[in-house]
Structure 1
Amino acid sequence: MDLSFITDGWAGHLSYLLLVLSMLMRRMFWLRLFVIASALAGIAFDFFWLNNPVGVFWQALLVLVNLAELFILWRNDRRASFSSEEHRFREALLPGLSPGRTRRFLDMGRWETLAPGTVLTREGQPPDFLTYLDDGEVRIEAHGRMLRVVTGGHYIGEMSMMGDGRAVATATLQSRARVWRIERAKLRRLRDTAPATMAVLETGIARDMRAKLVFQNASNFADVSER
């Protein structure tokens, strides 16, 4: 095997390897760092091996653009601020999302104080919103039977994001509640325009669904034990 293919152009191979690795990064910060590293290796290859000023120019421009984007990410993260309820939401159900992206995502929805009796989802119908319950109590009913009461720190209507989009239960507020809500149409657009943010949201939803399932199983076990 002729090793000159590797040894004579190692900087070129490194450039493309780093570019491929950048596509595997789930966080934008690391993706841009790998792209910058790839471009720097490409500059070395174009300058020392190929004597290609055109390649050097475009690779240098790529470095500058990504440095500018990293600066914007840093600035947005520094400027982002959160209320106490937003901080609880972020810590519990938006794991790994940068402060700047979290701020933009929260601004897509709105905080509301809702009265007892407000229906958040209706069984068999697509809900208008995905709702995060910061405090208050929600009664969950399906097929005319009460399943459980959900308290603060959970999503309401998350099951409608799966399958045919219809709610599997009716969720009704039992008390005054503070909630954050986002329209389903905005979530559909988010899937196309910000897939990384959507991936974090779906991770938080999966975590919330597991927590509810564990609680429901524990409650059912307790009911059986008391009989």
Structure 2
Amino acid sequence: MTKKKFGIFGGLIIFSLAIAIALSQLPPNWFKPDYLVNLSSILTLISFSVRSILTLRILAIGAQLTFIPYCFFQPTPLWTPIAWNLLFMGVNIFNVIKLLLEKRPVILSSDEEKLYNLAFQTLSPREFLALLTVGEWRDGEPGEQIIIPGQQSSNVSILCRGEAIAFLENQELIKIPEGKLLGPTSILVGEPTNIEIKLSTPSRYIRWSVVQLRQFTDKRPAIREKLQSIVSRDLANSVRTLQELKLKEWNRSDDAP
């Protein structure tokens, strides 16, 4: 046992002895049930003044635990308030457990952590983990078609490792690096595109069904807004990259003899 643990254990023993000695000095029948309802009211009052939902619910459980004995030790037990407070306490205990589970640290795999850092930092780690549950990780080889021109795509994908190339009428348009959306934003609304996207290196990416992704975000408006900002940022970066490429081509054509 370490010195710190020994000190805590010794302190608890001394505290318990002090309480026992203090109680032994009290006169008989010193305890009154009214003390319980007063303590319950104090805990309820304190719970109204805290901001943390977890702390509020714990204080509410304490208030209910002290109020139930008060009802029970009446000359005629008050069963109706006891039943209601047991129900309230059960609801609060359930939500305390739920909040504690939500506060557990989120553990991501190496690929998940990399993708989160590349594209999804606007989401909380727990929101990102929930998003991954409706997606499918896939490994691809060079030449694999991700988006077929002229066809309506039912999936949306983002690269985690590797590289892809976008083609327009068999002409290379732009290279798509890791962390970028594989395809134009039109695929998110189910419209066909004239863009073709192929993997250029061995790659790993995650793919979502557009229908399942829409169902997922419809139930989570906060995540939907964050994903919309991610897509908008990705689109803006793609447009800027295309403009830079066109500018370089114009400069080369101007420099040509």
Aligned equivalent of 1:111, options 134, 137, 140: 137
User: Is 1:176 paired with 2:202?
Assistant: yes
Aligned equivalent of 1:144, options 149, 155, 170: 170
Taking only the aligned residue pairs, the percentage that are identical comes to 20
Q: List alignment gaps of at least 5 residues for structure 1.
A: 1-29, 37-56
Q: Contact conserved, 1:130 with 1:156, CA < 8 A, in 2?
A: yes
Q: How much does 1:145 deviate?
A: 2.6
CA deviation digits over 1:38-65, x for unaligned, max 9? xxxxxxxxxxxxxxxxxxx9xxx6xx76
Output the CA distance in 2 between the equivalents of 1:158 and 1:75.
38
Q: Contact conserved, 2:152 with 2:187, CA < 8 A, in 1?
A: no
Aligned equivalent of 1:130, options 122, 147, 156: 156
Output the CA distance in 2 between the equivalents of 1:225 and 1:134.
33
Q: How much does 1:77 deviate?
A: 4.7
Output the CA distance in 2 between the equivalents of 1:100 and 1:163.
26
The structure, 1 or 2, with the larger RCO (C-alpha pairs under 8 Å, 6+ apart) is 1
CA deviation digits over 1:19-50, x for unaligned, max 9? xxxxxxxxxxx9x96xx8xxxxxxxxxxxxxx
Q: How much does 1:168 deviate?
A: 4.2
User: Is 1:223 paired with 2:249?
Assistant: yes
Q: Which amino acid in 1 is paired with 2:174?
A: R
User: Is 1:194 paired with 2:201?
Assistant: no
User: Is 1:203 paired with 2:229?
Assistant: yes
SS where residue 206 of structure 2 aligns?
A: strand
SS where residue 133 of structure 2 aligns?
A: helix
Identify the residue that residue 27 of structure 1 maps to in structure 2: none
- Against the structure 1 CA distance between its residues 112 and 77, is the aligned structure 2 distance closer, same or farther, given a 3 Å change threshold? farther
Aligned equivalent of 2:123, options 97, 106, 120: 97
Q: List alignment gaps of at least 5 residues for structure 2.
A: 1-50, 57-83
Q: Which amino acid in 2 is paired with 1:222?
A: K
Q: Contact conserved, 2:168 with 2:195, CA < 8 A, in 1?
A: yes
After TM superposition, list the pairs within 5 Å mapping 1:58-77 onto structure 2. 72=98, 75-77=101-103
- Against the structure 1 CA distance between its residues 222 and 191, is the aligned structure 2 distance closer, same or farther, given a 3 Å change threshold? same
Moved more, 68-77 or 145-154: 68-77
